[in-house]
Amino acid sequence: MIALRGVTKRFGDEVVLAGFDLDLDPGALTAVMGPNGSGKTTLGRLLLGLERPDAGTIVGLEGRRRAAVFQEDRLCEQLTAVGNVRLVLDRTVPTSVVIDELRRVGLDDESLDKPVRELSGGQRRRVAIVRALIAPAELIILDEPFTGLDVEAKSAVMAHVRERCAGRTTVLITHDRAEAEWFGARVVDLTRSVGAEPSGPDRHG
């Protein structure tokens, strides 16, 4: 179990999270929602170890491998899609496995051979998602992962995410309640989280 207890995080004089409590259901997908500035991305960064709480504790992260899709793609521009995905894999993993994963989210052979700087925004997004999900991680943070995808691509990518995240503790940060409902996710709404985790988070699905 990963749990936050009394977590407070400030940036200067701004309190983003105040005395926040949260339990993440093991092996399940939890959707975190709320307006801009409510602390969604900060929560993700705390779980990834990229930020430290100013007060409170986070337990259950020790020894867990973590992966993330950030709001920015964070790709190596000079590498191909395959090269970017291989960065998170052991050398023993065949390149054919990487190619298969990229094809499953809609990348064609032509796009696989180009440096990612030459790909469209939607193609780059799919590379970032595949890279995160193919990594042998136990905790996955997805921060607005479907931004920039058209309807057809989004449908295929969401199905891929659901398959690849099955059995792994996953946090989906989103503004779109329909995404949370599609995944059948427990929803934590940070709109109501001033001072504490919302009591009785909504459950959908």
Radius of gyration of the chain (CA): 17
What's the predicted TM-score (pTM) here? Answer: 0.89
- Fold of the domain built from segment(s) 26-49+63-189: Rossmann fold (3.40.50)
Contact assessment for residue 142 and residue 161, using Cβ atoms and an 8 Å cutoff: yes
The dihedral through the CA atoms of 67, 164, 106, 179 has a sign that is negative
Which pLDDT score is estimated for 113?
A: 86
Among 69, 126, 64, 139, CA closest to 98: 126
In Å, how far are 1, 50, 51, 79, 138 from 146, measured between CA atoms? 27, 22, 24, 22, 21
Q: What is the full DSSP assignment across 3-71?
A: EEEEEEEEETTEEEEEEEEEEEPTTSEEEEE--TTSSHHHHHHHHHTSS--SEEEEES-TT--EEEE-S
Which pLDDT score is estimated for 198?
A: 38
Instruction: Spell out the domain ranges in the chain.
Output: 26-49+63-189
Which pLDDT score is estimated for 190?
A: 93
Structure tokens at 194: 């001033």
pLDDT per residue as tens, the chain (205 positions): 999 999 999 999 999 999 999 999 999 999 999 998 899 999 999 999 999 999 999 999 999 999 999 999 999 999 999 999 999 999 999 999 999 999 999 999 999 989 999 999 999 999 999 999 999 999 999 999 999 899 989 999 999 999 999 999 999 999 999 999 999 999 999 985 544 343 333 333 2
